[in-house]
Structures are given as C-alpha cells and as structure tokens.
C-alpha cells in the first residue's frame, strides 16, 4: 500500500472526495511546493491535509465523541483553500510545468504523470466549482 493524494472538496460543510489515487502529486509534493513558491502561488504542501493519515496511524488518537469519520474532523479543522484560489494555483502550476517541460524524478521522468494528475484535479474542480466552497488534497495511505 502506498501513500497518495485524493482531491477533496468541501460542499456545505461536508467533505466530498474523488477518491482517485494521485501518486505522482504526492511523490513530487516538495518540488511542486518549490515551484509554487517560485511562481508566487500558495503553498502546495499547505493544502495537503494529513487528518486522515494522523488518525489512522496514531493508535492513541481517537475521534471526538459523536464524530464518525476523519472527514468530519477534516471538514472543520483541516487544511483548505478557496476553490477559486485552488483553481488559479493549479492552472498556473500546470501551465508552468508544461511550458518549461519540468522534469520530475531522477531515474524516471514522471512529467507526464504529474501533468495528467494535475489536469484531472483541475477538471474535478471545474466540474464542481458552482457547488464547492473549498478544496484540499487529502494524504491517504
């Protein structure tokens, strides 16, 4: 089992996820974050929420009384960005990566995987832009 990112939306206080495994985005999160900083964009890593990962990996961490899932905790305490800001950030990041032909990986270039995964997330955002208020990537293991 590997660690991946899922694209999440917050719609009327409820987390909705596309539940698509995005390995390349997780694997190259540091580089994507560095590119965002260079481009003056919000931090990529700061919108990667670890709520689910923390609760699933820490045996001492329990859900609060009355809470049934980590999504409920994430909805109120998670790392989020406004959908419009996420769209601008991801589109600018994707445009830069395409224009520069940015390489991802030392041995195998995962440029195509990163471009594909970013494109899929942007499409997910566009399809839900009228109903969703916020966006994040959920770190899932």
CA–CA distance, 61 with 54 (Å, rounded to integer): 8
Paired strand residues for 17: 8
What's the DSSP call for residue 44? S
Quick check: 55 pLDDT over 80?
A: yes
**pLDDT of 35:** 98
Quick check: 2 pLDDT over 90?
A: no
CA–CA distance, 36 with 33 (Å, rounded to integer): 5
Considering the chain, what is the average pLDDT of its residues? 95
**pLDDT of 62:** 86
Cβ distance 15 to 8 under 8 Å? yes
Which one, of 114, 118, 136, lies nearest residue 46 by Cα?
136
Average pLDDT over residues 61-81: 92
Q: Within a 13 Å sphere around the CA of 60, how many CA atoms are in the beta-carbon half?
A: 0
């Amino acid at each position: 089992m590997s660690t991946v990112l899922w694209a999440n939306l917050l719609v009327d206080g409820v987390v909705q996820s596309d539940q698509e495994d995005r390995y390349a985005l997780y694997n190259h999160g540091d580089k994507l974050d560095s590119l965002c900083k260079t481009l003056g964009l919000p931090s990529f890593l700061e919108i990667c929420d670890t709520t689910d990962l923390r609760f699933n990996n820490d045996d001492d961490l329990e859900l609060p009384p009355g809470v049934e899932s980590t999504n409920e905790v994430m909805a109120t305490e998670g790392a989020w960005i406004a959908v419009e800001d996420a769209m601008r950030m991801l589109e600018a990041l994707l445009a830069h990566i395409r224009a520069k032909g940015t390489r991802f990986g030392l041995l195998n270039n995962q440029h195509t995987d990163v471009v594909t995964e970013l494109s899929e997330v942007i499409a997910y955002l566009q399809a839900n832009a009228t109903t969703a208020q916020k966006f994040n990537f959920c770190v899932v293991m």
